[in-house]
């Protein structure tokens, strides 16, 4: 069980990277709300369950000392940006961006980011406690 912590930590980091990239794409959509012919984009969500399964079953990293944690690296990923299918609303200039829809997606994405960041911070605190290090009361 203890050797899975680094893998879960990497998955959480990947989720944060995905959500950060998605925020940039959604903000770009909102910035182009009045651009003629602009098509809304989104970031294709990876299957984090498959990513974790591949990580846990992959070749372990070489350990040069018994105190080192076992783990497997996950390659840094740029998630694929795709053009979103046309929504119900199409502006007269051919633009398919709805400011309300983008704001809602940005709010949900920000909430998911905060939740994932809280998970990462909680895991870090638990790991520090296990190492006998004092943690600040944040």
State the Rg of the chain over Cα.
20
Could you tell me which of 115, 112, 111, 87 has the C-alpha nearest to residue 101?
87
Q: How much is the pLDDT for 94?
A: 86
CB contact at 8 A, 46 and 77: yes
The structure's pTM equals 0.70
Kindly state the DSSP code that residue 75 receives in the 8-state scheme: -
Write out pLDDT tens, residues 19-42: 999 999 999 999 999 999 999 999
Write out pLDDT tens, residues 66-110: 766 655 554 545 788 888 877 667 888 889 998 999 999 999 999
Numbers of helices and strands, H then E, in the chain:
3, 2
Average pLDDT, the chain: 80
């Amino acid at each position: 069980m203890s050797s899975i912590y680094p893998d879960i930590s990497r998955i959480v980091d990947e989720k944060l990277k995905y959500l950060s990239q998605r925020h940039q794409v959604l903000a770009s959509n909102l910035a182009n709300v009045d651009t003629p012919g602009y098509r809304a984009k989104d970031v294709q969500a990876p299957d984090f369950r498959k990513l974790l399964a591949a990580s846990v079953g992959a070749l372990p990293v070489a350990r040069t000392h018994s105190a080192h944690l076992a783990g497997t690296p996950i390659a840094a990923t740029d998630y694929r940006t795709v053009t979103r299918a046309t929504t119900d609303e199409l502006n007269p200039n051919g633009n398919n961006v709805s400011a309300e829809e983008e704001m809602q997606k940005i709010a949900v994405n920000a909430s998911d980011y905060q939740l994932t960041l809280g998970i990462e911070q909680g895991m870090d605190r638990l790991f520090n406690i296990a190492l006998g290090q004092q943690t600040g009361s944040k």
